[in-house]
Amino acid sequence: MLVLPVLALAIPQIGWNTRTVRAALADEAKAPHIETAVLDGLPRHPNPDLCLAQDCGHCHEWGTVVTPDGHHELCPACQSRAGGDFAPHVCDETVGRAAAHP
């Protein structure tokens, strides 16, 4: 009975909270102490190109591997062409397969 009024009041508040938290996190990621930590060697998670990871048996199409010493790294078998920066694009089947199986 009170579902619709609760939803009508909650949905705009959820949107406002989401925008506020996202903006705060984006501002904090640009803070000088964060940049310093990254320059000092704080590990960042790898951004694999999943197009290149297609049919890769080494990483099972994940694009990343966990090394024996516990580091999370790009798959050396299929991600050698990846630059490491996130660049969204549309997968090209021929490019991905050609890179995974040269």
Contact footprint for Zn ion (CB under 5 A): 53, 56, 58-59, 75, 77-78
Q: In angstroms, what CA-CA distances link 10 with 1, 20, 25, 58?
A: 15, 15, 22, 46
Give the helix ranges, DSSP H, for 45-92. Answer: none
| Closest by Cα among 83, 78, 75 to 52 | 78
State which residue, 77 or 95, has the beta carbon closest to Zn ion.
77
- Least distance from Zn ion to the Cβ atom of residue 102, Å: 13
- Least distance from Zn ion to the Cβ atom of residue 81, Å: 11
State which residue, 22 or 60, has the beta carbon closest to Zn ion.
60
